[in-house]
Amino acid sequence: MKIRCSQLGKIMTKPRLKSEVLSQTTKTYIQELVLQEKYGIYKEFWSRYTDKGNAVEDEAINLAMDTLEVGFIYKNEESFSNDWIKGTPDVNTDILLDVKSSWDATTFPFFEEEIPTKDYFYQLQGYMWLTGKQTSLLCYCLINTPFEIVEDEVRREHWKQQSIDENQDIRDFVEAKHNFDHIPKEKRIKTFVIDRDEEVIEEIKTRIELCREYYNQLIETI
């Protein structure tokens, strides 16, 4: 059993009680892995947020290249793995870089000084572990939402407002919420530098070994 870097945050959550080895969040995740392995049952996950992130990933990488002094970068397609983890960084050229596209301006970390989501810290530690890099960049990007997703949001807002007919005010509100052309390009990217932490990597190793013990126990009982 290897853990995807994008899921490391789930296994690194601390249990509520000192007597517990794994948190409930971790146990739930391992249970999902057991069901996948034993019976092919997958908990599908998708949302409008992940849909947008996938749709604008290339544009976000281009924004990073245009605004940061990182030279020419391109989307990485190579996957990496070791005895504990596996993953595919967004960019793995001279620099390790991962982009996160915010849903809208209200979720973009304009004023944050620390990483808003701790899970991303562990994800980048995993990527650095796999690639041998010592430093990485976590880049939050504010990219215009694609037309198809905006149209879905327009329909969703009409439904919320119980408006059967097309309402131009609703459309204007939604479209404005998802267009950021009026914000300077350099203000639409927020970068956090994450350095490799060997102590954290050792903690990840230890936690994965505990997860494997729990995983094996469940495999035998289901």
Structural domain span for residue 204: 3-14+21-144+180-221
Supply 109's token pair.
Answer: 């970390």
The answer on pLDDT for 94 being more than 90 is: no
**62 occurs within a structural domain:** yes
Q: Is 116 part of any domain? A: yes
Number of folded domains that form the chain? 1
pLDDT category, 23, cuts 50, 70, 90?
very high
Is 133 domain-assigned?
yes
Q: Is 205 domain-assigned?
A: yes
Residue 153 belongs to a domain = no
Is 13 within 8 Å of 25 (Cβ atoms)? yes
Q: Is residue 161 part of a domain?
A: no
Query: How many whole angstroms from its chain centre is CA 103?
Result: 12
What is the phi-psi region of residue 44: left when phi exceeds 0, alpha when psi lies from -120 to 50, beta otherwise?
beta
Mean pLDDT score, 11-16: 95
Within-domain flag for 184: yes
- 137-188 pLDDT per residue, tens: 999 999 999 999 999 999 999 999 999 999 999 999 999 999 999 999 999 9
**CATH code (residue 140):** 3.90.320.10
SS3 137: strand
- Tens digits of residue pLDDT in 35-79: 999 999 988 778 999 999 999 999 999 999 999 988 889 999 999
Q: Which of 140, 80, 73, 54 is nearest to 105 (CA)?
A: 140
Residue 155 lies in a domain: no
